[in-house]
């Protein structure tokens, strides 16, 4: 029988320690940074975001800028031709609906209402929406990235046929709201350090004795 999400969290906390608290970002900044983070490293994300603000300017300047100018500014983050129109379209949609370039109105919404709104923006899926809600607004939405998905599946916390885009529907209800942030951060760290995609280091894993997929290779 697979372990519970809370049991997994307790072991990861004991092994790695509690994660450092996250300093909340402006939700619009978090949205743009999360779009920029797709398929690139944290370092390149930060560089692309800094370049965007330095070379294009304010949110209003970015909204009005040609897509090619935005792409040039974020090119060092990769996939600029995909991310630039997504950023511009998101800003335009927010402006058209609310008359201001701000996502502060999300503070008054619950998790599901916030997720529904954010996923109406082009290029914003459940993971990006959850990042905005969790990191900028301290709401208990669980971003499921490749590490969270892989580790959760290997541990049996989600079903073997559950797609990544719906994994949060199974994981969030299994956790108290106050534990969602720690669970997300610790599963990412565990996936990077031990439960790797190609060569999981099962012999060093604090969950080895309760993991139903222990010893199974990269297809696990």
Residue 68 CB coordination number (10 Å)? 11
Q: One of 88, 127, 139, 196 is an active-site residue; which one?
A: 127
- Cβ atoms of 5 and 175 within 8 Å: the answer is yes
Distances (CA, A) of 179 to 118, 175, 202: 23, 6, 25
The label of the residue with tokens 């690139």 reads: 40
88 given a catalytic annotation: no
Give the separation between CA 49 and CA 32, rounded to whole angstroms.
8
Give the separation between CA 41 and CA 168, rounded to whole angstroms.
23
- Cβ atoms of 104 and 27 within 8 Å: the answer is yes
Residue 17 CB coordination number (10 Å)? 10
Give the separation between CA 126 and CA 128, rounded to whole angstroms.
6
Catalytic residue numbers, as ranges: 127
């Amino acid at each position: 029988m697979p372990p519970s999400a809370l049991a997994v969290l307790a072991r990861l906390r004991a092994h790695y320690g509690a994660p450092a608290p996250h300093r909340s970002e402006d939700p619009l900044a978090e949205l743009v940074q999360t779009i920029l983070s797709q398929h690139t490293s944290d370092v390149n994300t930060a560089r692309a975001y800094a370049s965007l603000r330095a070379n294009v300017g304010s949110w209003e300047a970015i909204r009005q800028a040609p897509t090619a100018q935005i792409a040039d500014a974020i090119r060092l983050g990769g996939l600029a031709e995909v991310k630039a129109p997504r950023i511009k379209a998101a800003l335009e949609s927010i402006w058209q609906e609310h008359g201001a370039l701000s996502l502060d109105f999300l503070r008054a919404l619950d998790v599901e209402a916030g997720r529904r709104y954010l996923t109406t923006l082009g290029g914003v899926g459940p993971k990006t929406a959850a990042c905005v809600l969790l990191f900028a607004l301290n709401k208990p939405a669980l971003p499921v990235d490749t590490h969270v998905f892989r580790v959760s599946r290997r541990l049996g916390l989600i079903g073997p046929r559950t797609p990544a885009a719906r994994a949060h529907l199974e994981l969030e209800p299994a956790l108290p709201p106050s534990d969602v942030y720690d669970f997300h951060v610790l599963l990412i760290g565990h996936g990077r350090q031990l439960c790797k995609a190609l060569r999981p280091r099962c012999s060093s894993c604090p969950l080895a004795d309760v993991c139903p997929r222990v010893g199974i290779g990269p297809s696990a």
